[in-house]
């Protein structure tokens, strides 16, 4: 039974995924569209498609035309019913992310199925995923990139290339690359998978994708002269604190290379150990000041134990890798490592947990497939002590990731409370700042505000007072 | 059984968390929320609990912010069990709630602003007192607090 394929096990995994997505979707649907970031973006796309060209192709630091196209498409499709449409798209994205992750893990029997809840808990509970659910702009483009990368991996790891896998792969790359810069990771997924023997995309398809990547850089830097974010644009974590743009300029203006290197290393380590967070060594600071919260420990233990499991997997497979004898699990772990490295490099201008969300998603898939192999081998010819150790590791992994997954839901509910209050307060805040909206904008404001505050509100769980949950 | 022990150890806490979260979601969808603390029952309680959205909803539904409402002990404190919506904002020390109520047009009368500013001064909230009467309220120390206590005493 352990090795044979089981339809009921596969069905159970997808059913579990659907339940997980539906539960998170329920929590997410109760969150109003946020005032900050979202409201101004909605107003920006209201007049027409001008912004798609004006801002999408002529930004000084960013090339993100499809980001505006996504917002505009949903705006037009909603016919004024903004909140259900934007939130509906967000919930649909969650379903897609969960199903694509199950598809990538591809459980084949009950033994594999046991690691799917772990993979999904790591996907939803990873700190890098938090920004994809508690925020929206009002379409969460970071989540769009996670979806594109997961879809790309599913295509790349298909048994053999077909013309349509190439075509879909190219479309995914175009969509992702022109949405936000981290969309370039789609190419890393395709190239990385091919490097490790995956044959879902043909050589011609890979050549076209590579040509398009080169074309992206030529378009961006050669024709549009779109640069990269500079030090004075955003706050960023460094060491034990967040530095504002003037502080960053004062400290690194002469030699930003050190700051950029720090960001790359910090982003890389953040996925593997949940430390530093957004560039700040939060746990170390808490230890030094005696303010360690149980939530910090749970987060650190969950990711570090998972990382050690992936490391154990790599150790077990070292000879096969040396022989270039890769199976699907190897390819998933390899793609994770390459996406992690590339994602960290892309994060060089500033650190933010959510920027690493693509690497976080592949961490989840790699953790699940590593757990399948390590658990299986840990039991072959195992004595009582080894089984006991394996059970203990499983219990630690299961418990800490269960806490992390629950934490995601608590954060979403907290966001619902916070966003509702922000909408309630926003009128008096604008009044104090002397902001008077034009009538058309005011109508949208009033509608979004009513959507946010009309009852009944999502029940208040008050779980954010429990220190095991980590609220920003 | 021995070979399934690690899988069970891995899956059990994860499945348990999913079941609890699913039960929460189903309970909420069917109108029977589990573990949830009761929502604010009136605008004064909403103010005290910091639920600005509920405050706006209660006011839009026509609640009088100058009426005395019952408060649960956990809303402000066990000694504050009755207050108007406006008093609750002062007594719960929520300056942004006072600004919200002001913007909603509930603080138009100068005498009312003066009275609340004095109450704010009595409970050591000078920031709120300044918001209510920027030029400085003319108060007799302790008098506004006493008037609130007299008015908020439950009827015999």
Q: Looking at this predicted complex, what is its ipTM?
A: 0.91
- Each residue of B5-50: pLDDT tens digit? 889 999 999 999 999 999 999 998 888 877 666 788 999 999 999 9
Residue A221 confidence class, pLDDT cut points 50, 70, 90? confident
Residue A432 confidence class, pLDDT cut points 50, 70, 90? confident
Inspect the interface and report whether the beta carbons of A421 and B12 lie closer than 8 Å: no
Inspect the interface and report whether the beta carbons of B57 and A453 lie closer than 8 Å: yes
Inspect the interface and report whether the beta carbons of A395 and B13 lie closer than 8 Å: yes
DSSP A130-154: HHHHS--SSS-HHHHHHHHHHHHHH
Q: What is residue A37's DSSP assignment?
A: I
Q: How many CB atoms lie within 10 A of CB A447?
A: 14
Q: What angle do CA A19, A23, A26 make, to 5 degrees?
A: 135
Angle formed by the axes of helices A116-125 and A82-105, nearest 10°: 140
In a domain, B24, yes or no: no
pTM of the predicted model as reported, rounded to 2 decimal places: 0.92
Q: What is the CATH number of the domain that holds B47?
A: 1.25.40
Cα–Cα dist A303/A362, whole Å: 13
Average pLDDT over residues B63-73: 93
At residue A388, the pLDDT reads 87
> Which residue, chain included where needed, has tokens 């509702």?
A420
- Each residue of A315-347: pLDDT tens digit? 999 999 999 999 999 999 999 999 999 999 999
Q: What angle do CA A183, A184, A190 make, to 5 degrees?
A: 110
In a domain, B15, yes or no: no
Q: Which of A424, A429, A445 to mutate to test the interface with B (most CBs of B within 10 A)?
A: A424
Question: Residue A263: CB partners within 8 Å, gap ≥ 6?
Answer: A236, A279, A347, A348, A349, A350, A351
Average pLDDT over residues A427-448: 92
Average pLDDT over residues A150-174: 95
Residue A1 confidence class, pLDDT cut points 50, 70, 90? very low
At residue A253, the pLDDT reads 84
Residue A32 to chain B, least CA–CA distance (Å):
11
Please report which helix (H) or strand (E) contains residue A252, including its range: helix A245-252
Inspect the interface and report whether the beta carbons of B11 and A398 lie closer than 8 Å: yes
Residue B152 to chain A, least CA–CA distance (Å):
28
Whether residue B95 is predicted with pLDDT greater than 50 in this model: the reply is yes
Residue B88 structural domain:
43-152
Angle formed by the axes of helices A357-379 and B5-29, nearest 10°: 140
Inspect the interface and report whether the beta carbons of A409 and B36 lie closer than 8 Å: no
Contact B90, B125 (CB under 8 A): yes
Backbone φ and ψ for A229, nearest 5 degrees, come out as: -60, 140
Higher pLDDT, A118 or A233: A118
Q: Which of A1, A400, A460 to mutate to test the interface with B (most CBs of B within 10 A)?
A: A460
At residue A2, the pLDDT reads 47
Q: What is residue A356's DSSP assignment?
A: G
Tally of domains within chain B: 1
Question: Strand, coil or helix: what is B69?
Answer: strand
In a domain, B108, yes or no: yes
At residue A458, the pLDDT reads 79
CA neighbours within 13 Å on the CB side: how many for A271? Answer: 32
Among the partner-chain residues B5, B36, B100, the one whose CB lies closest to the CB of A460 is B36
- Please report, rounded to a whole number, the percentage of residues in chain A having pLDDT higher than 90: 72
In a domain, B111, yes or no: yes
Question: Strand, coil or helix: what is A229?
Answer: coil
Q: How many CB atoms lie within 10 A of CB A384?
A: 8
b/e map B17-48, b = 16+ CB within 10 Å: bbebbeebbeebeeeebeebeebbebbbbbbb
Instruction: Using an 8 Å CB-CB cutoff, list chain A residues near B98.
Output: none
What are the structure tokens assigned to A149, written together? 């990368």
Residue B93 confidence class, pLDDT cut points 50, 70, 90? very high
Residue B79 confidence class, pLDDT cut points 50, 70, 90? confident
**Domain locations in chain A?**
7-465
Whether residue A56 is predicted with pLDDT greater than 80 in this model: the reply is no
Whether residue A39 is predicted with pLDDT greater than 50 in this model: the reply is yes
């Amino acid at each position: 039974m352990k090795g044979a394929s089981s339809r009921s096990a596969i069905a159970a995994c997808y059913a579990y995924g659907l339940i997980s997505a539906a539960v998170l979707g329920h929590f997410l649907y109760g969150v109003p569209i946020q005032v900050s970031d979202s409201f101004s973006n909605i107003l920006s796309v209201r007049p027409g498609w001008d912004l798609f060209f004006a801002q999408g192709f002529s930004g000084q630091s960013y090339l993100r035309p499809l980001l505006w196209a996504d917002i505009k498409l949903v705006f037009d499709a909603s016919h004024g019913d903004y909140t259900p449409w934007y939130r509906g798209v967000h919930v649909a994205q969650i379903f897609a992310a969960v199903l694509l992750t199950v598809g990538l893990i591809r459980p084949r029997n009950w033994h594999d199925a046991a690691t799917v809840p772990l993979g999904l808990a790591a996907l939803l509970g990873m700190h890098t995923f938090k920004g994809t659910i508690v925020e929206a702009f009002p379409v969460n483009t970071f989540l769009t990139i996670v979806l594109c990368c997961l879809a790309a991996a599913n295509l790349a790891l298909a048994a053999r290339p077909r013309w349509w896998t190439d075509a879909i792969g190219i479309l995914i790359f175009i969509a992702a690359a022109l949405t936000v810069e981290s969309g370039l990771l789609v190419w890393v997924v395709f190239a990385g998978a091919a490097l490790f023997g995956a044959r879902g995309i043909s050589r011609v398809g890979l050549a076209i994708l590579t040509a398009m990547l080169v074309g992206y850089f030529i378009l961006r830097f050669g024709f549009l002269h779109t640069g990269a974010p500079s030090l004075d644009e955003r706050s960023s974590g460094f060491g034990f604190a967040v530095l504002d743009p003037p502080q960053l300029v004062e400290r690194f203006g002469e030699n930003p290379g050190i700051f950029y290197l720090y960001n790359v290393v910090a982003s890389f380590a953040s996925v593997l150990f949940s430390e530093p967070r957004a560039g700040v060594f939060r746990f170390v600071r808490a230890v030094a000041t005696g303010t360690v919260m149980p939530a910090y420990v749970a987060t650190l233990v969950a990711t570090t134990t998972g990382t050690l499991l992936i490391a154990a997997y790599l150790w077990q497979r070292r000879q096969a890798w040396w022989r270039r004898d890769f199976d699907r699990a190897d390819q998933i772990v390899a793609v994770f490592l390459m996406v992690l490295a590339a994602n960290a490099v892309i994060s060089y201008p500033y650190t933010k947990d959510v920027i690493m969300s693509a690497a976080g998603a592949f961490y989840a898939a790699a953790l699940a497939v590593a757990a399948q192999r390590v658990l299986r081998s840990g039991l072959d010819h195992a004595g009582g002590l080894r089984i006991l150790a394996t059970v203990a590791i499983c219990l630690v992994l299961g418990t800490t990731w269960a806490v992390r997954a629950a934490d995601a839901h608590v954060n979403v509910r907290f966001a619902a409370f916070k966003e509702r209050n922000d909408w309630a307060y926003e009128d008096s805040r604008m009044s104090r700042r002397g902001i008077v909206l034009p009538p058309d904008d005011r109508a949208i404001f009033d509608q979004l505000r009513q959507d946010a505050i009309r009852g009944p509100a999502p029940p208040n769980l008050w779980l954010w007072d429990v220190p095991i949950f980590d609220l920003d | 059984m021995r070979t399934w022990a690690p899988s069970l150890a891995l899956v059990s806490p994860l499945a348990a968390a999913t079941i609890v979260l699913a039960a929460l979601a189903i309970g909420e969808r069917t109108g029977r929320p589990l573990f949830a603390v009761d929502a604010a029952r009136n605008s004064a309680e909403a103010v005290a609990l910091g639920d600005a959205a509920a405050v706006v909803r209660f006011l839009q539904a026509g609640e009088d912010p100058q009426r005395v409402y019952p408060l649960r002990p956990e809303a402000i404190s066990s000694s504050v069990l009755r207050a108007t919506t406006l008093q609750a904002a002062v007594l719960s020390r929520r300056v942004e709630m006072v600004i919200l109520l002001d913007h909603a047009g509930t603080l138009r009368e100068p005498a009312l602003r003066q009275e609340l500013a004095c109450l704010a001064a009595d409970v050591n909230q000078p920031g709120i007192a300044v918001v209510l009467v920027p030029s400085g309220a003319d108060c007799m120390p302790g008098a506004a607090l006493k008037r609130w206590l007299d008015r908020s005493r439950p009827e015999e």
